Structure 1
């Protein structure tokens, strides 16, 4: 079993919006968007970012995430 927490459907959808092809790119894109989010959405995104941050590169590479425009 992976050492990171499994993502909910909502978290996976959020990650897909900011997916750039790499863990670092996703983290940069989502962190750049945080100041423009409000209230619960910002909290939700921050929790999701924390989960991604705890993942190894290998774990991240194993995620089935695709840019939102490709879904």
Structure 2
């Protein structure tokens, strides 16, 4: 199983709909509006997600970290 950083999890939680395909579509649509560091983070996270099967993705729990 992959290991996502807290930053990657937070980013993916913004765009996650429960569908791997929709997650890719939403993040890729947002890439042109991200600054360089955020783009690198998004691309790295998508590379990790791309390596997952649909079943593995379905079992992936992505939650935004609490601010507390």
TM-score normalised to structure 2 length: 0.84
Q: Which has the higher contact order (CA 8 A, sep 6+)?
A: 2
Give every structure 1 segment of 4 or more consecutive aligned residues whose post-TM-superposition deviation is greater than 3 Å.
Answer: none
Which residue in the other structure is 1:36 paired with? 33
Matches within 5 A, 1:1-71: 2=1, 5-65=2-62
Unaligned stretches of 5+ in structure 2?
none
Number of matched residues?
A: 64
Q: Shift of the alpha carbon at 1:65?
A: 2.5
In structure 2, C-alpha distance between the alignment counterparts of 1:24 and 1:9, rounded to whole Å: 22
